[in-house]
Amino acid sequence: MSSAGASLGYLNKGWPDPDADGILQGMREAKAAYARLSPSERRLAQPLGDKDRMRFEEEQFSKPEGTLDLRISSRGLPFKGMTSFDQRHPMYFHLDRLWFKPSEWRAFIPADGRATEVTGPARTRLVLLSHHQAGQSAWWEEHIVGGKTVSRVVARRGDLMDLEIEGTYTMRADSEWCKDSYEGRMMAHATFDMAGRRFTRFDLAMLGTHTVGRRMENLLVGDLTAKIAASASLNPLRTASDRMLPQNWKYGYGLPWCRTP
């Protein structure tokens, strides 16, 4: 598009496997179309101002102070009959953020100094938002039908408490949008600074088996059962992408979540 709104071309060629030659040709055609435009068709006569700016609910969402911020990556493993048309293919991977505000990450800290079962939002978010890729079905909290997550203290070093967190999860769905099942396991090692009230380490790994209950013609090709692997660690916040909001900020968290630390 030109800044004045004139259409110049379409460059999304060859999905799901990008067609480099087609994209290059499309760029050449768009450049030629731009050259044919008059100056009035190329640029807006009146510059855009703040009153023209679109406002998004996303801009009101923020991370509460003291939030445990993890950077997550997940990817499907090779499976029989896979093609690049299927988003479970290993060529696709999911990068995301996983946030726990202080009222949630306290669930990982054993009150008795020995062990605790992790329940509530901390466990729910671990299961629903961490290990699935984009295109991995519509899972809801009610679909978590089994499993258990336990955090144990394995060592103390002054103010530092070392934790080992193990979890299993069983998911079954029978909705209009998802009739799948999932079985998985999780292991995490974390270090909590009791004086600073913060995690100085949180390394997590997950492996699960996803079985599709109903094939979708526009998404799934090959075997209906595939494995998914995920890993997470403390977000280093080095780049702009590290500072992006969690992908599911609206339905996995929501504005009330960030306004009530």
Report pLDDT digits (tens) over 159-180. Answer: 999 999 999 999 999 998 889 9
Q: What is the mean pLDDT of the chain?
A: 91
Statement to judge: residues 180 and 163 lie in one domain: yes
Statement to judge: residues 41 and 5 lie in one domain: yes
- Which of 33, 53, 73 is a domain's end point? 53
Per-residue pLDDT of 222-251, as tens digits, reads 899 999 999 999 999 999 889 999 988 998
Statement to judge: residues 49 and 64 lie in one domain: no
What's the pLDDT at 133?
Answer: 62
Statement to judge: residues 25 and 87 lie in one domain: no
How far apart (Å, rounded) are the C-alpha atoms in residues 219 and 87?
Answer: 7
Range of the domain at 6: 1-53
Statement to judge: residues 66 and 46 lie in one domain: no
**CA nearest to 141, candidates 226, 252, 248, 231:** 252
Statement to judge: residues 48 and 144 lie in one domain: no
Per-residue pLDDT of 60-111, as tens digits, reads 999 999 999 999 999 999 999 998 888 888 988 888 999 999 999 999 999 9
Statement to judge: residues 36 and 74 lie in one domain: no
What single string gives the DSSP state of each residue in 7-67? -------STTS--HHHHHHHHHHHHHHHHHS-HHHHS-SS---GGG----GGGG--PPTT-
Statement to judge: residues 191 and 227 lie in one domain: yes
Among 46-50, 116-120, 203-207, 214-218, the least confident range: 214-218
What's the pLDDT at 138?
Answer: 84
pTM higher than 0.75: yes
Token digits of residue 8:
């110049």
What's the pLDDT at 110?
Answer: 97
Q: Provide the domain count of the chain.
A: 2
Statement to judge: residues 164 and 232 lie in one domain: yes
Statement to judge: residues 135 and 90 lie in one domain: yes
The conformational region for residue 114 under phi > 0 = left, psi -120 to 50 = alpha, else beta, is alpha
What single string gives the DSSP state of each residue in 122-167? HHHHHHHHSSPPTTS----GGGEEE--EEEEEEEEETTEEEEEEEE
Statement to judge: residues 65 and 49 lie in one domain: no
How far apart (Å, rounded) are the C-alpha atoms in residues 149 and 116?
Answer: 9
pLDDT of residue 135 exceeding 60: no
Statement to judge: residues 148 and 75 lie in one domain: yes
pLDDT of residue 221 exceeding 60: yes
Write the CB contacts of 130 (distance below 8 Å, at least 6 apart in sequence).
Answer: 70, 72, 74, 96, 98, 204, 206, 230, 232
